[in-house]
Amino acid sequence: MTIRTTPTRFDNPHSVGNKILRVLWQACYILLFRPSPSRLGGWRRWLLRRFGAKIGRAWIHPSVTIWAPWLLEIGSDVFIDRDVFLYDPFGITIGDRVIISFGTNLCSASHDYNDPSYTLIGGRITIHSDCWIAAEAFLSPGVTIGEGAVIGARAVVSKDVDPWSVVAGNPARFIRKRELRGA
């Protein structure tokens, strides 16, 4: 017996209000956020706050893609570099003094591949304070990055990362403890 997938039966779990807000956000993103000069970080923060984001002093490059600002929380002294993708249907929380390097993908949702209709599944991604997510890393749904952790370039993180750890690789593996000089 062959069981076939039925992606055409996919039920969008998002409310009509969510869909309308995403259309409005996309218009704002295309017309006002994306074309803004790099030096206008305050303008981009202001726009995101109008759409419900909770943001401290953060600098977000205009090429950053944000799926739903109302599900985004960002602390202070945060730097999010170019071409980062914040796919946050289940939410993303970023602490203080965090660097997210270029090309990184934070993906809080996926699909249940065991379900013939590919039900949407996921969980909030949490990055605690004093972390560095290096270039082109991928964070899976529901992961928590502990305080002070470093995620190596192009790492694929599918499990929680302990505080003050350095991880790298695909899948990400523990490399060493992070020890700050002069601390």
The residues carrying an active-site annotation are: 111
Residue carrying structure tokens 């991604």: 125
- Angle value at C-alpha 140, between 69 and 119, nearest 5 degrees: 80
Kindly state the tokens that stand for 100. Answer: 């997210």
In the three-class reduction of DSSP (H, G, I as helix; E, B as strand; rest coil), residue 177 is classed as: strand
* DSSP code at position 11: P
Encoded tokens for 68? 């739903």
Residue type for position 52: G
What span, in angstroms and rounded, lies between the C-alpha atoms of 81 and 99? Answer: 8
ω into 69 cis (within 30 of 0): no
What is the enclosing helix (H) or strand (E) of 49? helix 41-50
Spatial separation of the C-alpha atoms in residues 84 and 28, rounded to whole Å = 18
